[in-house]
Structure 1
């Protein structure tokens, strides 16, 4: 019985062992065997990359040559059609050219690489250089200058449609930074509830509440949604003795009522969460937190400057009104922002610097 068990274990062990079959013999492609077909494949790849660059140019030309006329859906359809065809051609041609390059011209031999623990030694770094050199040799990126240069040209032209589209988002008669530097708020403009448009009396604002407001008459603006995106404001009321106001901003609030831009200074998300116990405003996108008691100074998160404050007052009928527009551009920081700050009106709050702005 013991002898039978030994033979069974030996049989099981032999059944588990097998020889490495190795890789099948490499079959050369037509481009490996015939130099003229290799040159033809190279020209085909060049043609696709050239076609990609042409598609990018077509997209830009179509966007300029087929303008959109307000109220005319036909012009909108044609603009989108030719713009989309140009961008699709640019992206598709790069993809097809890259696939054709890899299948017809790059090395297609299979390799077996044993995995070893990686260490940052000189030998490892030398091996990495060898791998990159081998990859360059197999792809022919350095050797095939026609394909390389056409690919670089196609990639250089590909972002042009996006550049033209994003640049044209701003009004043609305005500098883009001017759009963020000024809003519809001006002296005497009443603060109205969003979205009803009902004016707010100072007596309506209770302690611990937060009101989402917009300027009176915003619905009559030429582009009300754009104006609302710039002028959105949050109004809160705190006990007056809890407000730590800078001397130069003491007149910007009314009986503990303060108003701040709703647009986060990080990436422009709406700061819509108000914690009435701590008097903190929270941006739900990236958790930037602003302290309402201290001129909405940043106390947590990626935002790097306070929310702009809207100076407010009360008119003869008891309604909340703006004293003037914001004294600094609203929303995220950008390189040109300091050039648009009103040097006479803007007041730096303690704890902020122009470098952070």
Structure 2
């Protein structure tokens, strides 16, 4: 930093000569206070203490990352109880948060207490890939290495590498939960709680729905009636995620159906899986005038009048249709389970 009443000689680029030569260029102090040496600059013990603090924080980060991985294994959520989900999220999140926070605090303390804190004036010059320019770039890296101490402070450098490497482990571990590896995904998604005779019920009340209650333009979020009585510790969330359905009524003449699907609807009432075939987001928006279903995540659109075929967006296949009819009491019931896997189509390419 240039101090008050000080002048300094700087290097300026001379295009005619093709190299940098020192020229006299007085730089006046703009009014900044004189540079004050830090305690770590004056006291070797303080410097060593700062070094210990930094690498301890980095090793703490590594330990927290390993703790997050351990928490993933110690608090599984296969049973889907709310308590196990809470513990799983809390301890994994706590481990990742401490890991990232320790890296951040350690890096800041390193820069504040140990890296050079002197200010410099750098004059711009024409950009040119000359030999002196390349040499100057190498020197700049060497100076930065010397100022930061990265090359000579082995404990800090090595602990940083350990912390950064360990911070990746929780993310890699969590990828394990994105897909069931012990069972065939297509088989899991090809079977839901729907079966012949299961009544369609409102979500979340579990109240059965009569065909007479479904009016033109209406849309019902539907679950199997049996699901409403299933305990939350017995796979409720998993079963609901696979079985949830959207129910709508159109004029029968508006439906364009293949011959083999003529009996899959009832008097213009159709039921389709609510799980988008792109990445599994909930298809929750129904346009009454156009009879289109919209997925809000990536804007895939499906035409209800034509077997929920894809008319826009990244979805690769139509929404699976649930075959329905009515029972003796007029309640809507399923004819069978879905005839194809529900959810994202990439499961079929597993």
TM over 0.5, yes or no?
yes
| Paired position in structure 2 for 1:56 | 65
Rounded to whole Å, the distance in 1 between the matches of 2:329 and 2:84 is 49
| Paired position in structure 2 for 1:157 | 166
Greater alpha carbon shift after TM alignment, 314-323 vs 217-226: 314-323
On the 8 A contact 1:136/1:142 being kept in 2, the answer is no
Distance 1:108 1:231, change over 3 A: same
Distance 1:228 1:142, change over 3 A: same
Rounded to whole Å, the distance in 2 between the matches of 1:160 and 1:101 is 24
- Name the TM-score, length of structure 1 as normaliser: 0.67
Rounded to whole Å, the distance in 2 between the matches of 1:53 and 1:175 is 35
| Paired position in structure 2 for 1:264 | 276
On the 8 A contact 1:183/1:230 being kept in 2, the answer is yes
Determine whether 1:239 maps to 2:248.
no
Match of 1:279 among 283, 287, 291: 291
| Paired position in structure 2 for 1:97 | 106
Distance 1:207 1:78, change over 3 A: closer
Which has the higher relative contact order, 1 or 2, with Cα contacts under 8 A spaced 6 or more apart?
2
Distance 1:235 1:64, change over 3 A: closer
Offset at 1:200? Answer: 2.9
Q: Secondary structure at the match of 1:101?
A: helix
Match of 2:307 among 291, 295, 299: 295
| Paired position in structure 2 for 1:323 | 335
- How many positions carry a matched residue from both structures? 313
Distance 1:162 1:235, change over 3 A: same
Q: Secondary structure at the match of 1:217?
A: helix
What is the root-mean-square deviation in Å for CA atoms of aligned residues?
4.4
On the 8 A contact 1:188/1:323 being kept in 2, the answer is yes
Determine whether 1:148 maps to 2:157.
yes
Distance 1:139 1:291, change over 3 A: farther
Q: Secondary structure at the match of 1:195?
A: coil
In structure 1, stretches of 5+ residues that fail to align are 1-18, 340-357
What does residue range 1-357 of structure 1 map to in structure 2 within 5 Å?
21=30, 23-29=32-38, 31-32=40-41, 41-61=50-70, 64=73, 86-87=95-96, 89-111=98-120, 130=137, 133=141, 137=145, 138-141=147-150, 144=153, 146-161=155-170, 164=173, 167=176, 180-221=189-230, 222-334=234-346, 336-339=347-350
Per-residue CA shift, 1:315-344, capped at 9, x if unaligned? 45543322322234333454x4434xxxxx
In structure 2, stretches of 5+ residues that fail to align are 1-27
Greater alpha carbon shift after TM alignment, 297-306 vs 185-194: 297-306
- Name the TM-score, length of structure 2 as normaliser: 0.68
Offset at 1:310? Answer: 1.5
On the 8 A contact 2:60/2:102 being kept in 1, the answer is yes
Offset at 1:230? Answer: 2.3
Offset at 1:308? Answer: 2.1
Rounded to whole Å, the distance in 2 between the matches of 1:139 and 1:246 is 71
